[in-house]
C-alpha cells in the first residue's frame, strides 16, 4: 500500500521515540515546531507520489510483487530506474527547498540487495532471504528508512578494535540464540526521527581484528534502547517565534540527529551481516556510490535559489544590469552541471549479479565531487545579487511593530511597485538557503554528505585507468606503436 501524506503523519504518531532536544525530552515529536518542517518535507514524498503528473518519476513497479510502490522503496531494475531516481531528487528538492530525507534509505536498500546476495553466493549464508523479507515489509507498508552508516569514529588514526572506547564504532557486545546485542552510535542521521526503520551499516572497510564491528541490521526506529539527540541548526529557534516571516522557507526543513544504541537487541531475521568483515568495504562502496548520485537533489534546491535570486534582482530593480544577468547565467550553468553528473552515472550504470542495477562508481564520485564545490559558488552569487540587506534586515517583529514598521517599510523598499513584505520574504528565503537551517541541507551536506571531498578523490584516483591514458598518448606521438 502506498501511503498518503496524512497516513504517513499518522504512522509517525504511533511511534514511541525517545528524542531529546535542548536538554529536554520531546514528547510530541510530530508537532514540535522545530522538527515539524522536516516531517513536512518527508510527507511531500508521499503526497507527490499520488499526483498524476509525477507518478512516472515517484513510483515504480516492485520486482518482488508486481505492485506499484513509492520509488523510495524500489530496487533499481535498469538504467532508466537510476535516471528516474536522479530526476526524483531534483523534483523534490525544487518542491521543498531542503533535504527530504528518504534518499539514504533507498540507497541502503539497494546496496544491501547487492552485498547480501554476494555474501550468500560466496559464503553460503542466508542474508539475502532475510533482506528480501525485510524489503517486502518496507514496500508493502511504504516505510521511510534511515540509512545509518556514519559512526562517531573517535581517534581517526585508529581502527575500530584499537579505540580506547570500543563504542566509537557500532559493535556486537553479546551473541544470543535469538539474536545479537549491539552498542554504539550513528552520527549525523538525516531524518532519523521521521523514519519508521533504521538500517545500520558499517562505515569503513575492516580487517579480521574488527569483525565484531562488521555488522548490518535493521530495526524499528522506536526499538528499546535507541535514543535520538537532535542536532542544532543555525536560526532553528526562529521556528518558535510568533511571526513566520523570519523563517524564509515557511513549510519545509531538514534535521540530523545522533542515534545512540545502548545495548539494543536485534533478532537474527533482521541481521544482514554478522562478522563478514571482508564485505564491509564492498557495502560501503556500493552505498556511497548510490548516495553520491542522490545529490541530484541539490540541483533542485539550486532551482529554488536561482529563482529567488532572479526575484530579488527584480525587486531591487537591477535585473537588466549585464553583470546581474551574467551571474544568473553562471548560477544556471553550475546548477545544470550538478544535474549532468547525476544523470550520467545513472545512464552508465550496470547490472550486478543480484540483478540490481548500480550506478557507475567513477562518475558517481565525480558527480559528488562537483557537489562539494558548485553549490558554494551558486550561494556566493546569490548573496552577491541579494545585497547586504539579506543579513542586516530587522526582525519580523520590528517590521510588524506599530512604532518601527513604517520606517522599515519606507527605507527598505526597492521598486515602488513591489511591496516591501515581498522583498522581506525573498531575502529571508535566500538567507535560509545560504546561511540558515536550509544551508545545512544545501551547503554543509553538499560538502560532507556521502563522505568528505577527500573520500571521493580517493575513489576517483583508484578508478581512473591512468595506464590506458598514457598508452593512448604514447601511441599518438610514436613512443609506442599504433
Cell numbers representing residue 285 in the block: 562502496
Catalytic residue among 45, 73, 96, 103: 103
Catalytic residue among 8, 95, 99, 188: 99
Order of all β-strands in the sheet with 197-200 = 145-148, 197-200, 215-220, 271-274
Whether 297 is catalytic: yes
Catalytic residue among 9, 47, 276, 445: 445
Catalytic residue among 9, 197, 256, 431: 256
Rounded to whole angstroms, the Cα distance separating 269 from 31 reads 34
Catalytic residue among 169, 274, 290, 295: 295
Catalytic residue among 98, 145, 259, 297: 297
Whether 20 is catalytic: no
Catalytic residue among 59, 144, 150, 190: 190
Rg over CA atoms, the chain: 24
Direct distance between the N- and C-terminal alpha carbons of the chain, in angstroms, rounded to an integer: 60
Whether 280 is catalytic: no
Cell numbers representing residue 137 in the block: 515489509
Using CB atoms within 10 Å of the CB of residue 161, give its burial: 0 to 12 exposed, 13 to 18 middle, 19+ buried: middle
Rounded to whole angstroms, the Cα distance separating 355 from 169 reads 31
Rounded to whole angstroms, the Cα distance separating 118 from 279 reads 9
Whether 51 is catalytic: no
Catalytic residue among 116, 291, 356, 399: 291
The three state secondary structure string of the chain is CCCCHHHHHHHHHCCCCCEEECCEECCCCCCCCCCHHHHHHHHHHHHHHHCHHHHHHHEEECCCCCCEEEHHHCCCCCHHHHHHHHHHHHHHHHHHCCCCCCHHHHHHHHHHHHHHHHHHHHHCCCHHHHHHHHHHHHHHHCCCEEEECCCCCCCCCCCHHHCCCHHHCCEEEEEECCEEEEEEEEEEEECHHHCCEEEECCCCCCCHHHHHHCEEEEEECCCCCEEEEECCCCCHHHHHCCCCHHHCCCCCCCCEEEEEEEEEEEEHHHEEEECCHHHHHHHHHHHHHHHHHHHHHHHHHHHHHHHHHHHHHHHHCCCCCHHHHHHHHHHHHHHHHHHHHHHHHHHCCEECCCCCEECCHHHHHHHHHHHCCHHHHHHHHHHHHHCCHHHHCCCHHHHHCCCCHHHHHHHCCCCCCCCHHHHHHHHHHHHHHHCCHHHHHHHHHHHHCCCCHHHHHHHHHHHCCHHHHHHHHHHHHCCCCC
Whether 197 is catalytic: no
Whether 337 is catalytic: no
Rounded to whole angstroms, the Cα distance separating 106 from 147 reads 8
Whether 103 is catalytic: yes
Whether 256 is catalytic: yes
Cell numbers representing residue 73 in the block: 522503496
By annotation, the residues acting in catalysis are 99, 103, 190, 256, 291, 295, 297, 445
Amino acid at each position: 500500500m502506498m501511503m498518503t501524506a496524512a497516513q504517513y503523519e499518522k504512522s509517525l504518531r504511533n511511534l514511541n521515540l525517545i528524542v531529546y532536544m535542548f536538554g529536554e525530552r520531546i514528547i510530541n515529536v510530530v508537532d514540535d515546531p522545530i522538527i515539524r518542517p522536516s516531517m513536512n518535507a518527508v510527507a511531500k514524498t508521499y503526497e507527490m507520489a499520488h499526483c498524476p503528473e509525477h507518478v512516472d518519476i515517484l513510483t515504480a513497479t516492485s520486482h518482488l510483487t508486481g505492485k506499484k510502490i513509492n520509488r523510495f522503496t524500489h530496487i533499481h531494475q535498469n538504467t532508466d530506474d537510476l535516471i528516474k531516481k536522479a530526476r526524483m531528487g531534483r523534483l523534490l528538492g525544487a518542491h521543498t527547498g531542503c533535504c527530504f530525507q528518504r534518499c539514504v534509505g533507498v540507497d541502503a536498500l539497494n546496496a544491501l540487495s547487492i552485498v547480501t546476495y554476494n555474501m550468500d553466493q560466496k559464503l553460503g549464508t542466508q542474508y539475502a532471504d532475510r533482506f528480501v523479507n525485510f524489503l517486502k515489509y518496507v514496500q508493502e507498508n511504504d516505510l521511510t528508512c534511515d540509512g545509518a552508516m556514519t559512526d562517531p569514529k573517535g581517534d581517526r588514526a585508529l581502527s575500530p578494535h584499537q579505540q580506547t572506547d570500543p563504542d566509537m564504532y557500532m559493535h556486537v557486545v553479546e551473541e544470543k540464540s535469538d539474536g545479537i546485542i549491539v552498542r554504539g552510535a550513528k552520527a549525523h542521521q538525516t531524518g532519523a526521527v521521521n523514519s519508521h526503520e533504521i538500517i545500520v551499516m558499517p562505515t569503513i572497510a575492516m580487517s579480521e581484528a574488527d569483525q565484531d564491528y562488521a555488522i548490518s541490521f535493521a530495526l524499528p526506529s522506536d526499538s528499546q534502547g535507541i535514543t535520538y539527540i537532535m542536532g542544532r541548526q543555525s536560526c532553528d529557534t526562529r521556528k518558535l517565534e510568533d511571526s513566520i516571516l523570519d523563517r524564509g522557507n515557511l513549510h519545509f526543513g531538514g534535521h540530523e540527529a545522533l542515534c545512540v544504541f545502548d545495548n539494543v537487541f536485534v533478532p537474527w531475521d533482521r541481521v544482514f551481516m554478522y562478522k563478514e568483515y571482508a564485505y564491509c568495504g564492498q557495502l560501503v562502496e556500493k552505498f556511497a556510490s548510490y548516495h553520491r548520485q542522490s545529490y541530484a537533489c541539490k540541483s533542485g534546491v539550486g532551482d529554488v535559489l536561482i529563482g529567488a535570486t532572479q526575484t530579488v534582482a527584480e525587486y531591487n530593480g537591477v535585473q537588466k544590469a549585464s553583470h546581474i544577468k551574467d551571474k544568473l547565467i553562471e548560477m544556471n550553468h553550475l546548477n545544470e552541471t550538478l544535474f549532468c553528473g547525476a544523470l550520467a552515472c545513472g545512464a552508465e550504470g550496470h547490472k550486478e549479479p543480484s540483478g540490481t542495477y548500480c550506478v557507475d562508481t567513477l562518475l558517481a564520485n565525480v558527480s559528488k565531487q562537483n557537489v562539494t564545490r558548485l553549490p558554494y559558488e551558486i550561494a556566493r552569487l546569490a548573496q552577491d545579487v541579494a545585497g547586504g540587506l539579506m543579513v542586516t534586515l530587522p526582525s519580523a517583529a520590528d517590521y510588524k511593530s506599530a512604532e518601527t514598521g513604517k520606517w522599515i517599510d519606507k527605507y527598505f523598499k526597492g521598486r515602488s511597485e513591489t511591496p516591501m513584505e515581498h522583498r522581506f520574504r525573498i531575502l529571508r528565503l535566500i538567507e535560509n538557503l545560504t546561511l540558515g537551517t536550509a544551508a545545512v541541507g544545501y551547503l554543509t551536506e553538499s560538502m560532507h554528505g556521502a563522505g568528505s571531498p577527500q573520500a571521493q578523490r580517493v575513489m576517483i584516483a583508484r578508478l581512473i585507468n591512468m595506464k590506458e591514458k598514457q598508452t593512448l598518448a604514447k601511441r599518438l606521438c610514436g613512443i609506442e606503436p599504433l
